[in-house]
Amino acid sequence: MIKELKYLWKLIQPIAIRLLALVLASFVGSAAAILVSLLILLIDLSKGKLTYVLIVFLSLLLFSDSNAPMFFQSGKNAKDLALILLSLYLIVKGKTNFQYSYLKYFAFYILIAFIGLLFANFNTIGLQKLLSYALVIWVVPVFLFLIFEKGEGLIFSRQIIVTFAFLYIISIVLSRLNPFYFAQFGRFNGIHRNPNGVGIFATLFIMNIYILREKFRDIFSKKVFYLIVGVFVFCVVLSGSRNAIISLGVFALFSVLRIKLVLGFLIVLIFASSYQFILMQIESLILSSNLENELRLDTLSYASGRIYIWQACWMEIQNNYWLGHGFSYEEYSKWDKAYYKILPMLIHNYGNIHNSYLTIWLNTGLLGLIAFLFGIIRYVVKFQFKSKLLAPFIFGAFFLAFFESYLVASLNPYTWQLWFAFFIVSIQIKPTIFINKQPIKTSMAEEISSVDKPY
């Protein structure tokens, strides 16, 4: 296992150098962070190093979610320009062999959201966010396709998994050195602004790791695979995110039992109809286990304040039921201020509704919610037989979406993981992987000499 870990470290050294450059530039200032970020992406694009380009871009999205200056400057200030740069690259590159069939399922949702902007309170912020949302849906899968088409899917999969595991290990260390940025109120923040961010990212990424292993059975040895998964599971536990823990449990249970879509929907319906009874049993179990402080039993009954923000959101939805108030309305409008007197228990959520479905409904109306869910259903129906993990992923990810609004925003470290999973499930993997025009052996020890050197 030691040899394999050394190989993996050597594999991500080029990426580690790039990310270190981003962090150092952040200490200089926002202008330096932007310049270094774009320079790194331009150099890699010119050299055709698309694996590095995509991982650096996704790392920028992760950094942008941080409140630590060492990450925030490069992520927050460079991610928009980075997305534009990658989009321009794909436009200039011209036609590829990429099949847009499953992306077309979500085009109707984008159209509904745009129409909603026109008829609602049209503003440039909503238009910009809708454009970035559409570009992420396009850019991430197409870059993945170009990487896999070059035969670098296996190498890329190893690199992205180990890179984010490495970043999370660093954030665990930083949480001990500087709790103000990385561990507040006894819960692990990681690189994110809050513990729930850790729960969302780590949970989605764990599911994606399993989907990648389903495609590449030799991606890691068993010991290294479970070591990496263990890092992310440990971070979920440290975050104290109940929703993430249950979502992981749903994914694990559905995977082990190999529950199909129809049966899964029936289980979800039964769970929803028995919610109050299940909640009472969970409370009893927590009390008997003496874990009421760790699992924050005092906030369980009202979902840490989510119940009240959901009530306020439902009232606001009634004002524009069908087309909504405009994309990203919940972020910039300060809409919730009107409901503090009506709902005294409503706490300030900074526009975060903590429910993807209600947020979609508020922004794009019932028509937008139907269009979004219809796109998901069409995709799942078409590709459900390509992966045994698709149904567990859908139920795990969409359970998490019931308590978090990650499905709605674009330039964050969460939403892209949905399109990532969809692409990996649908892609046909080439049997031969090439690095430096030489086929990679199945043994990692034989691959070390074939890995690109960092520039």
The C-alpha atoms of residue 154 and residue 213 are separated, in whole angstroms, by 10
User: Domain coordinates of the chain in residue numbers?
Assistant: 2-15+101-259+309-450
What integer pLDDT is reported at residue 280 of this predicted model?
54
What integer pLDDT is reported at residue 349 of this predicted model?
56
- Mean predicted confidence (pLDDT) in 349-358: 80
Crossing angle (nearest 10°) for helices 390-401 and 261-273:
30
Of the chain, the percentage scoring pLDDT greater than 70 comes to 85
What integer pLDDT is reported at residue 210 of this predicted model?
98
Classify burial at 236, counting beta carbons within 10 Å of its beta carbon; exposed 0-12, middle 13-18, buried 19 or more.
Answer: buried
In this prediction, residue 339 has a pLDDT band, given cuts at 50, 70 and 90, of: confident
- Mean predicted confidence (pLDDT) in 319-337: 88
The C-alpha atoms of residue 213 and residue 225 are separated, in whole angstroms, by 9
In this prediction, residue 217 has a pLDDT band, given cuts at 50, 70 and 90, of: very high
φ and ψ at residue 188, rounded to 5 degrees: -80, 120
What integer pLDDT is reported at residue 293 of this predicted model?
64
CA 232 to chain centroid? 14
Residues 55-58: contacts with CB under 8 Å, at least 24 apart: 55/15, 55/156, 55/159, 55/160, 55/163, 56/15, 56/18, 56/19, 56/22, 57/82, 57/83, 57/86, 58/140, 58/160, 58/413, 58/416
In this model, does residue 446 exceed pLDDT 90? no
Classify burial at 449, counting beta carbons within 10 Å of its beta carbon; exposed 0-12, middle 13-18, buried 19 or more.
Answer: exposed
The C-alpha atoms of residue 98 and residue 426 are separated, in whole angstroms, by 12
Assign residue 351 a region (left: φ > 0; alpha: ψ between -120 and 50; beta: otherwise): left
Please count the residues of the chain: 455
In this prediction, residue 304 has a pLDDT band, given cuts at 50, 70 and 90, of: low
Give Cα separations from 192 to 105, 182, 197, 370 (angstroms). Answer: 31, 8, 6, 31
Q: Which residue has the higher pLDDT, 354 or 57?
A: 57
Q: Where do runs of H (alpha helix) occur along 150-274?
A: 153-177, 179-182, 195-215, 222-239, 242-257, 261-273
- Which has the closest alpha carbon to 253: 362, 391, 374? 391
Q: Which residues, listed in sequence order, are joined to residue 435 by a DSSP beta bridge?
A: 438
What integer pLDDT is reported at residue 432 of this predicted model?
40
The C-alpha atoms of residue 263 and residue 355 are separated, in whole angstroms, by 24
In this model, does residue 61 exceed pLDDT 50? yes
Of the chain, the percentage scoring pLDDT greater than 90 comes to 57
In this prediction, residue 341 has a pLDDT band, given cuts at 50, 70 and 90, of: confident
Q: Where are the beta strands (DSSP E) in 317-391?
A: none
Tell me the per-residue pLDDT of 189-215, one tens digit each, with 9 for 90 and over. 999 988 999 999 999 999 999 999 999
Question: Which secondary-structure segment (H or E) carries 184?
Answer: strand 183-184
Q: Which residues, listed in sequence order, are joined to residue 187 by a DSSP beta bridge?
A: 184
In this model, does residue 149 exceed pLDDT 80? yes
Q: Which residue has the higher pLDDT, 289 or 299?
A: 289
Per DSSP, the three-state class of 428 is coil
Tokens of 31: 């202008």
Tell me the per-residue pLDDT of 3-43, one tens digit each, with 9 for 90 and over. 999 999 999 999 999 999 999 999 998 899 999 999 999 99
The C-alpha atoms of residue 175 and residue 188 are separated, in whole angstroms, by 7
